[in-house]
Amino acid sequence: MQYTQTDYDSSRLIFLLRLDFHGIEYRFSTIPLSFDGRDYLGTLSEIEYEETSELIGFNPEANSVAIAVYFPTLDMIEEYRKGRTLEGMEATVSYILEKDGFYTDDEYVILKGIIQEPIIGDPLESVGFASFSIEQKLYDLSTPLIKN
């Protein structure tokens, strides 16, 4: 569905993050919600996202997003000691619109990529806190260039 500027002006953007952490999908959002039959934890930081055109010039940050999340059931330092890190895990950032307490049916993916440079163990945060950037894959090796 195509939205008008009026729809965006009177709506709130809610960002969603899905990430695979060693075979388990975790879902985060900027507010706690249930969307598309799945629950999202409301422990996602606010996201600043700006689209740029690659025709005009090169922006090294155009294909990445900085994220901070809180895993309520994980101790990220203990996971690191077990050799389970966030580095290289797949993640998808998207958004939905909320208007008058209702959510849109459409989810808009703005970035799909891999987690880079995770930071855990901040003494000012809880043990489940992690911050990282998600960088868009420049190429997709799962789709062959030439069909069989």
Average pLDDT (23-28) is 92
Residue-wise pLDDT for 94-132, tens only, equals: 988 888 777 877 888 888 999 999 999 999 999 999 999
HSE of 42, CA atoms in CB hemisphere, 13 A: 5
**DSSP codes, 48-59:** ------TTT---
Task: Decide if pLDDT at 86 tops 90.
Answer: yes
CB burial class (10 A; 0-12, 13-18, 19+) of residue 136? middle
Contact (Cβ atoms closer than 8 angstroms) between residue 114 and residue 89: yes
Say what the pLDDT of residue 83 is: 92
Average pLDDT (22-44) is 87
Task: Decide if pLDDT at 89 tops 80.
Answer: yes
Contacts 24+ apart (CB under 8 A), 78-82: 78/127, 80/120, 80/121
Say what the pLDDT of residue 58 is: 46
Average pLDDT (16-31) is 91
Task: Decide if pLDDT at 19 tops 80.
Answer: yes
Residue-wise pLDDT for 34-77, tens only, equals: 888 888 888 888 776 555 555 544 444 457 888 899 998 899 99
Contacts 24+ apart (CB under 8 A), 22-28: 22/84, 22/89, 26/69, 26/71, 28/69
Question: What's the pTM?
Answer: 0.78
